[in-house]
Structure 1
Amino acid sequence: MVVTAIIPARFASTRFPGKPLADLMGKPMIQWVYERTMQAEVVDKVIVATDDHSIYDAVQAFGGVAAMTCGDHPTGTDRLAEVAATLKSDLIVNVQGDEPLIDPAMIEAAVRPLLHDPSIPMGTLKTPIRDAREFLSPHVVKVVTDHNDFALYFSRSPIPYPRDFYAEIDANPTKVGAFKHVGLYVYRRDFLISYPHLPATHLERTENLEQLRALEHGYRIKVVSTDLISHGVDTPEDLDRVRGLLTTS
């Protein structure tokens, strides 16, 4: 199978405009994401999908591959689908452009189930929640799965809800057995191309979580558990934190 990783990258950002080009130890952040993604053994090719010429030029400058896309895509998945339609790949990996420390092993873990089981249309990752603030935060997306690690539901609310020992969460949040969703996705190419044409759904709009569209339309999502940690960059302060991690590593 041919596996292509696509990194959607927009210049516009409410909290951090131009962050794909933000300097990180002498390189634009998008280059860190690109190079780490290239290290994943299962990935054959990496493409940055962008609607911004400055990002396109920056990727070309460091020797990467970039593709210009339409500027009016409502989601990153639509941007991915536009590029995927031009490829002959079997699997498409969506790696977020604000993950400069993405561990290649996370990509490999998410891809493997789809390499071995052709019936799985989509996959992603989860990691245990050990912090009560994360469990309670609406900014942290939680996921619950069945015994075969297929997603039952994603939510911004605390799930599973610990009815009988809610007061104990602050003392021991691991008792809940909750998992945080890690926003890295793997799609079968044909499924990804059709995905933007699926009608938006009630739960998707209510939670503002696009992956719920797949579940509401009856598609299964494989969710692989990982103990690896990602360090997303949403603000300039997040970028400073990543600089600190690189300096001390």
Structure 2
Amino acid sequence: MKISNVFILIAYLLLTSSMTIEAKNLDSGAEIYSDRCVLCHGNKGMGDGYIPMRLKGYPQTSLFESPKATDKTALVKVISKGVLIDTVNEYMPPWESELTEEQISDLADFVSYLRSDTENALIMLEKHTRKLDKTVRDGRVIFETRCALCHGKLGLGDGRMARIIKNPPPADLTKSILTPHQMGLIIKLGGQEVGRSPKMPPWGDFMTDNEVNAVVDFIDTLKD
């Protein structure tokens, strides 16, 4: 083998090795995000986690809108110190005592990746968020924050928006005869995509499959 070919092979191996390490670090960051950050920042980083959706006056937590940190160094600092930094809101916990420096670095890399290549980052993230168990209790929380405005807290179709949405009005879910699969499709795709009311919005871009299933399970309890 010629010397030039040897150098090309070595360069290729080094490049592919570094790419593998980078992918591994990003995947580690995605796993940490799914475990530690979803409650506030949401399962897609849009700031629609369970906590801010339920508490009035909760600070904006989107990772895309007016971010507090825009580079790796700043992200590491915010993740590590949290509320200990004056410009960070009081609900952001400092993670330096619970995560290693390597984990914080991986998480910072993943947040940067989420902002720069959102579509592929979300595919990576979903591998971890879909593993999280979602119970009927989770479904109730999601229903109350996303569905009750139209369908009402008890699913009777009497939410606040029912005064505005007419012809057809929000469905009375307690009388629904849809199968769980059909209900899940309507939640994910919206009413128009499945030949139902176009006023029913699609939630597939905001909710994971296991969250949709949890909402479907909760709706089933409203029929009792």
The two structures have a TM-score, normalised by structure 1, of: 0.24
Q: 1 or 2, which has the higher strand percentage?
A: 1
Is the radius of gyration larger for structure 1 or structure 2?
A: 2
**TM-score normalised over the length of structure 2:** 0.25
